[in-house]
A = this chain, B = another copy of it.
Amino acid sequence: MKRYILPAALALLAACQTAPAPAPTAPEAPVAAEAPSPTASQQWLYGSAEARIAMVQEWNAIAAYVEAKAAARPNASVVLAPRATADAPEFLPCGDKPLAAVFDADETLIWNLGVTAERQRKGEAFDPAVWADWERTGAGKAVAIPGALDGLARIRAAGVEVIVNTNRGHDTAEGNAATLSAAGIGNFVHGSNLFLRGDDDQGSGKDGRRATISETYCVVALVGDQLGDIADLFNAKTLTPPARKALTASPAFDQMWGNGWFILANPVYGPSIAGSMDDVFPADTYWEPSAPD
């Protein structure tokens, strides 16, 4: 398949070399039309020192937060109660349930390097059948996110259970557990500490599974790369990207980020990759260069 590169992507490559700060090595421009190259997002997330550091910083913060909560047991979970809203926030009570931290899997605990490279190498779009195959057979080809293994060890040492709530499929439970195990994340048993899409009738919505987990545990942290890992209300289809962003900044919710609710960077895929020019660049920041003298 012939490949082209967006002018803007070339602009970014050029920017690396000249300003605001020069690149330490010249970025590899895709000179050969057939040579696959990672996207800028893939280069940053999976390849760069900067993203590794961002992950380590955040995992250290997650572990420190969970340790503090284990030392001073909270009364309320960080899971929103049914029908909670930004105006009427309410969290599930904890009772005397054991503590747990709940993690998304993909791009939260593990980086899906094998399948991402395979799609990019071939210039092929996402394919549900290939993804399902990846869930079945990818063990060993996904890696733990930098900082995750140290963070999980601290969380477990604090006596807090590690639970995975992922939209990987119910039908591929064995492969999903094998993938987590091979990456060093831990040993997971479907329905016990591993919850999958298809476990209930809510599709990719995770609120039902969060409710199930909360029957057994007091959840002290929710961690993901997408807002659906925190609460389904953030993924209402009526929300434009600016409205969705504004909802996360409402007073009841804004205080939760880094304080029970944690988001890790993932510029490669997901609902965060959306929005028109007008959504992404507000009108009041419109700028044109000066006219030549």
Which residues of A pack against B, CB within 8 Å?
1, 3-16, 18-28, 36-54, 56-58, 60-61, 105-107, 113-121, 123-126, 128, 130-131, 133-134, 136-138, 141-143, 146, 166-168, 203-204, 225-229, 234-237, 239-242, 244-245, 247-249, 254, 257-258, 262-277, 279-282, 285-290
Question: Is the beta-carbon distance between A289 and B133 smaller than 8 angstroms?
Answer: yes
Distance in Å: Cβ of A82 to nearest Cβ of chain B: 19
Are B130 and A270 in touch, CB under 8 angstroms? Answer: no
The answer to whether A275 touches B38, judged by C-beta atoms less than 8 angstroms apart, is yes
Q: Given that A114-B286, A279-B47, A287-B118 are known contacts, is A19 also in contact with B267, CB under 8 Å in the complex?
A: no
Please indicate the chain B residues that have their CB under 8 angstroms from the CB of A228 in the complex.
21, 24
Known: A239-B24, A287-B134. A4 touches B6 (CB 8 A): yes
Which residues from B are CB-within-8-Å of A22? Answer: 203-204, 235, 271
- In the complex, are the beta carbons of B271 and A204 less than 8 A apart? no
Q: How far is the CA of A15 from the CA of B203 in the complex (A)?
A: 16
| A113 and B285 form a contact (CB under 8 A) | yes
Q: Could you tell me if A46 and B8 are in contact, using CB atoms closer than 8 angstroms? A: no
Least distance between A71 CB and chain B CB atoms (Å): 17
Q: How far is the CB of A45 from chain B (nearest CB, A)?
A: 7
Known pairs A21-B204, A43-B274, A56-B257; A282 contacts B49 (CB<8 A): no
Task: Give the chain B neighbours of A53 by CB distance below 8 A.
Answer: 248, 257, 263
Contacts A3-B7, A20-B106, A270-B21; is A46 near B280 (CB within 8 Å)? yes
Contacts of A275 on B, CB cut-off 8 Å?
A: 27-28, 38, 43, 47-48
Residue among A13, A22, A270 with the most chain B CB within 10 A? A270
A267 touching B204 in the complex, CB below 8 Å, given contacts A273-B13, A273-B16, A273-B48: no
